[in-house]
Amino acid sequence: MAASIIDVARRAEVSTATVSRALRGLPNVSEATRERVLRAAEELSYAVSPHASSLASGRTGTVGVILPFVNRWFYSQVVAGIDSVLRANDLDILLYNLGDERVHERFFARMPPRRRVDALIVLNLPLSATESESLVSLEVPIAVLGTRIPGCWHVSIDNAEGTSTAVRHLINLGHRRIGMISGALGDPRGFTTPIVRQHAYRTVLAQAGIPYDPDLEAPGNLTIDEGASAMAQLLSLPDPPTAVFAESDQMAFGALRTMGRMGLRAPDDVSVIGFDNHETAELLDLTTIAQPVAYQGELLAQQILDALSGSSEEPAQVVVPTRLVVRGTTGAARVARPRHPSSPRPGPEPDQHSRTTAR
Amino acid sequence: MAASIIDVARRAEVSTATVSRALRGLPNVSEATRERVLRAAEELSYAVSPHASSLASGRTGTVGVILPFVNRWFYSQVVAGIDSVLRANDLDILLYNLGDERVHERFFARMPPRRRVDALIVLNLPLSATESESLVSLEVPIAVLGTRIPGCWHVSIDNAEGTSTAVRHLINLGHRRIGMISGALGDPRGFTTPIVRQHAYRTVLAQAGIPYDPDLEAPGNLTIDEGASAMAQLLSLPDPPTAVFAESDQMAFGALRTMGRMGLRAPDDVSVIGFDNHETAELLDLTTIAQPVAYQGELLAQQILDALSGSSEEPAQVVVPTRLVVRGTTGAARVARPRHPSSPRPGPEPDQHSRTTAR
DNA sequence: TTGTATGCGTTATCAA
DNA sequence: TTGATAACGCATACAA
C-alpha cells in the first residue's frame, strides 16, 4: 500500500496538517520542520492522492478539452498548443471527443466533467442554447474557440476577413468566375464557421459587382475526398470557375487531386486558394489563408490560467489575425479562355448568367 | 451547492447505501426503491462526485495516455482509435504529452498518473529501465504501442517485415542503388523503430547482394523539412540513388518536394516509397507501406478493457500486419542512367563502390 | 432487500 | 508556528 499523509506525519513527528502545509509550500512553516517533512516524504516515496486532495480542496488540477475531432490536423495542433501551456502549470488535460453524435448527446446528458475539472476549453463545437447553459452551470471558467458562449472567454480568427482576403486575392488576379468549396454546411450540429465564410464570399463578390451564382458553391465537408468531389462538380459546370476558394486546405488538396486527374493544372487552368496553412500546403505549393493554429490553443490555455488565478475580472475576447500566403496555385486569370471566349469585363454579365441568378 | 448522495437519500427516504446501489445498477435493489431513487436523483439533478467515488472505491474511470507528440498525424489517429473504444466504455482519457524533454523528466520524477488512472497506454515512447519500472510500479494494467515493457500488453507492427517489403519492392523494380531516409535515429530518447528499420534495410540489401554504402543512409527525423534535406543530401552524392525508402510518409513528402525543386520527377528520375499510408499519401500518389493506425489504438484500448475486466490472465501481444500500397512514385529502374552508364548487374560492384564499403 | 457505520486521504478551520 | 478535527462525498463490509 502506498504511504499516506499520516505515515509521513508520524515519521516527521508532526501533524498531518503540517505535512500538508509543508508539502504544498505554504507559509507559516518553519524551515526546520519543512525539511523534516520533505525528507520523510522522500523516504516513504510519498505522493498525495489527487482524489483525496480534490475532494478536500475542491480543486482538480485538470482542464477538460471538448472537441469534435481529435484526429484532424487543426485540432491536434490546437491541443498541442493548449497542452504546452497547461503542462507548464501542472494542469492535466482530460479529453472529451464529441465527434460521434451519440457521444455528444450522452455527454450533455451526463456531463462527465462535472466536478471533475477546474475549467473547460471548447473547440469549435456548435452548441445549442441548453447545451451551452449546461456547461456554464458547471460554474468553472470556460474558454471557447471559434463559436460564442455568453459570459465565456473567447479566441477566434476573423473568418469574414480571412475569406474576404482570399476571394479578393482571386478577384485582383482578374478572376470573375470564382467558385467556393464550403465545409460542413450540412452538418446537423450547425457549425457556424462555414456560414460566416459563405456569407463573406458572397458579400465580396457582390461588392465587386460579380453576379451571384449558386452553382459555383459546392459543399465539401472539410475532407480531402469531399473537396475532390466538390471540385469535380464545379468543373463539370457548363461554365466552370476559373478560380476556386476552398474553405480548408484539406478540401483544396482534394480539389487539386481532381484537377490532376482531369489533366488540369493550377493556376494555369484553375486557380485554387485554401484556408488554414496546413502543414502540407507548402508542400503542394498551395496559396492559402494562414491562421496561427497552435497559438490559438496557447491563448485559450492562457485565458484559463488568467481566469483560474482570478487576475482578470472580465472574460477577454481575442481575435487573432489571418494572413494571405501566396504560393503557386493562384495566378492571373487568362484573358481568353477556351470555353468562355469573351474577355473578362467589369460589371455583371446578365445574359450569360440569367439562368442561375433567376433561381 | 450541488446535491449530494445524502440529499438524494433523504428525498427518496432510503439510506445512502441504497442510493449508491440503485444508481450504479447493482442487484439486490427492489424495482420500486430503485425507481424512487432514480426519480429523486433526477429531481435534484444529482451527479456523483467522481473524486469521492474514486477515493472510496479506488477506481478512477480514467486511462492515462502517454505519448511523445499530440500534433502529429500518426499519434492523433491512434488517440482517436483509443478514444472511440474507451469512450464507449465510459472511460476518460487523461493526456500526458511528453514531447518536451523537461516535461518527460518531470513526469517521471513526479509520476502524475499515480493513483489517478485505472490503466496506462504508452505510445511509442522509448523508456529507460527505471522509467519502465516506475510505470509498472503504479500497479495498473499497461498497454504499449511499438516498444516493449516486460509484463505489459503490446501492440505493434512488424517493422522489419514492413521495411523489407518496401526495399524488396524497389529491388524487384530493378533498383540497386537504394537510399534510405531514416527517422529520429539521433534522438537522445532512443526510439527503437528507426533502428529496427535501418537494420532491416541493410539486411535486405545484403541478401540481394547489394554492397553496403553508408552514404546512402540519410537521417531525416520524421518531418517534412528534414526529409527534404535528407533527399537533397542523397541527390548530391557523386552516384545518387535511383530509389529511396523513406521511413515515414512525411519524410517522403519532403523528398518529393526536393525532387520537384530540382526538376526531378518520381518515378522517372528517382523512385520513392514511404511508410504509414498517411492521409496525404494518396493525394501525392505515393507508394508506401500501409499500417492500420487508428486500429492499433483500438486494439490498445481493447487490451486495457480486457485487463480491467480481468477476463484475460496473460497480457497479450498483438502484431498487426502492414501492406504494400503501390502507387505512382515507384517504377522500374531505367536500364541506362546518365551518370551511371553501366547497366545494373547482379552481385556487388567492388570497383565502383570500394570507397564507401571500405569505410 | 435495506440500513449502519466505517474508511478512503486530504484540506481547511479553528484553537492553542 | 503547530495541532486537533471536522468536512469532502461516496463505497462497502457487516448487520439486520
What is the mean pLDDT for each group of 10 consecutive residues in chain B (359 residues)? 90 94 92 94 93 94 96 96 96 94 92 93 93 93 94 96 98 97 84 93 97 95 94 97 97 95 95 96 94 98 93 88 97 67 40 32
Strands B92-97 and A119-123: unpaired
Where does the pLDDT of residue A314 fall: very low under 50, low under 70, confident under 90, or very high at 90 and above? confident
Predicted local confidence at residue A326, as pLDDT: 98
Where does the pLDDT of residue A306 fall: very low under 50, low under 70, confident under 90, or very high at 90 and above? very high
Predicted local confidence at residue A1, as pLDDT: 65
ω into A267 cis (within 30 of 0): yes
Inform me whether the pLDDT recorded for A164 exceeds 70.
yes
Inform me whether the pLDDT recorded for A341 exceeds 70.
no
Stretch A296-321: mean pLDDT, rounded? Answer: 92
Among the partner-chain residues B71, B90, B256, the one whose CB lies closest to the CB of A80 is B71
Distance from chain centroid for Cα B136:
20
Chain B residues inside the 8 Å CB shell of A80: 69-71, 97, 99
ω into B267 cis (within 30 of 0): yes
Predicted local confidence at residue A335, as pLDDT: 65
Where does the pLDDT of residue A48 fall: very low under 50, low under 70, confident under 90, or very high at 90 and above? very high
Stretch A170-186: mean pLDDT, rounded? Answer: 94
pLDDT digits (tens, 9 = 90+) for A95-107: 999 989 999 999 9
Task: State, as a whole number of angstroms, the distance between the CA of A17 and the C1' of C15.
Answer: 14
Count Cβ atoms within 10 A of the Cβ of residue B45 and give its class: 0-12 exposed, 13-18 middle, 19 or more buried: exposed
Chain B window 201-260: which residues touch A at a Cβ cutoff of 8 Å?
A: 224, 253-254, 256-257
Radius of gyration of chain B (CA): 27
Give the residue from chain B lying closest to A4, CA to CA.
B115
Name the residue among A93, A5, A111 with its Cα closest to residue A52. Answer: A5
Query: Three-state SS for A179?
Result: strand
Among the partner-chain residues B90, B94, B280, the one whose CB lies closest to the CB of A94 is B94
Does residue A56 reach within 7 angstroms of strand C, measured from its CB? yes
Predicted local confidence at residue A313, as pLDDT: 74
Encoded amino acid at B204, one letter: V
Stretch A48-75: mean pLDDT, rounded? Answer: 95
Q: Which nucleotide in the DNA or RNA is closest to residue A37, CA to C1'? A: D2
Chain B window 315-354: which residues touch A at a Cβ cutoff of 8 Å?
A: none
Distance, in Å, from the CA atom of B22 to the CA atom of B11, rounded to the nearest integer, reads 14
Predicted local confidence at residue A346, as pLDDT: 42
Predicted local confidence at residue B188, as pLDDT: 78
**Do B2 and A55 count as a contact with CB atoms less than 8 A apart?**
no
- Report which of residues A146 and B187 the model is more confident about: A146
Domains of chain A: 1-48 (1.10.260.40), 159-291 (3.40.50.2300)
Query: Three-state SS for A116?
Result: coil
Q: How far is CA A165 from CA A242, B158, B278, B288, in A?
A: 17, 48, 31, 37
Stretch A147-164: mean pLDDT, rounded? Answer: 96
Task: State, as a whole number of angstroms, the distance between the CA of A79 and the C1' of D8.
Answer: 32
Give the residue from chain B lying closest to A259, CA to CA.
B283
To the nearest whole Å, the CA of A17 is away from the closest chain B CA by 19
Predicted local confidence at residue B354, as pLDDT: 32
pLDDT digits (tens, 9 = 90+) for A218-266: 999 899 999 999 999 999 999 999 999 999 999 999 999 999 999 999 8
Flag whether residue A72 sits within 8 Å of chain B, measured between CB atoms.
yes
Average pLDDT for chain A: 90
Task: State, as a whole number of angstroms, the distance between the CA of A59 and the C1' of C16.
Answer: 29
Q: Are B226 and B220 in contact (CB under 8 A)?
A: yes
> For B47, what's the count of Cα atoms within 13 Å in the CB-facing half-sphere?
16
Does residue B28 reach within 7 angstroms of strand C, measured from its CB? yes
Predicted local confidence at residue B126, as pLDDT: 87
Stretch A145-171: mean pLDDT, rounded? Answer: 96
The pTM of the full predicted model, rounded to 2 decimals, is: 0.90
Chain A residues inside the 8 Å CB shell of B96: 92
